[in-house]
Amino acid sequence: MRKDLEIIILAAGKGSRMKTRIPKILNKLHNKTLINHVIEKSRKLKPSRINIIVNKNLNSLQKKIPKINYIIQTRPLGTGHALKLYYKKTNNVKKYLVVLYADAPLINLKDILKIYKNLKKKNDLIVIGAEVNRNKSHGIIVKKSGKISKIVEFSNANTKEKKIKMCNTGVIGLKSKFLNLTSKIKKNKSKNEYLITDIVNIAYQKKLSIGLIKTRNSHKSFGVNTIDELNRLKCL
């Protein structure tokens, strides 16, 4: 068991673009729900604790999938707010944290393990990036003087930033002693929610060490938002 590691799975999103009768993360890929894929991979890492942040409509998961610390996000205020909730409601937080998404079922286990090992040896915060040739929606990893300075939403990126191929998969690892940085995440005015990616720029301003793991499995690393995207994963 990795007693100094915790996994946080974000599962509170509405998933409205999926347009299915059931919550997005309960749709199946290869006869298994999306969230079960992520939980199984998390368990293979043998962390001290697995935490899942869900909305009130997914409260029933606690009976279906036990032995997990559930946190209810009653208001849909975004991924940054979810991390704020975790910080507020969780006791005895372990030294290293890895944040995953319940709608990214094929995330590479080796990449997650690299995050853990990297946090132990080098960086304070680390993200997994993937090269995308024709990006139209993914967050962009921006560097300043060779150092990662921020992750900018594609819709908010300028012309120069949109030419950057390295995109954010969403997976973030950080040392828990820097969880207090979540208090500095401000509500994004255009989306009216708190974005977890803002913690990257906050860490940069605090001169923390920010690392990047470049995944070789870019087509499997991003979250599923639509039925078409889910169907494409079924072909992999």
- How far is residue 11's CA from residue 90's CA, in Å, rounded to a whole number? 17
Q: Mean pLDDT across the stretch 8-27?
A: 88
pLDDT in tens, 194-227: 999 999 999 999 999 999 999 988 889 999 999 9
- How far is residue 114's CA from residue 126's CA, in Å, rounded to a whole number? 10
What backbone phi and psi angles, to 5 degrees, belong to 179?
A: -60, -25
108: three-class secondary structure by DSSP: coil
Q: What is the DSSP string of 155-191?
A: GG--TTGGG--EEEEEEEEEEGGGGGGGGGPPEETTT
pTM attached to this predicted model: 0.95
Asked if pLDDT for residue 152 goes beyond 90, the answer is: yes
Cα–Cα nearest to 219, from 153, 142, 130: 130
In order of their start, the domains of the chain are: 2-234 (3.90.550.10)
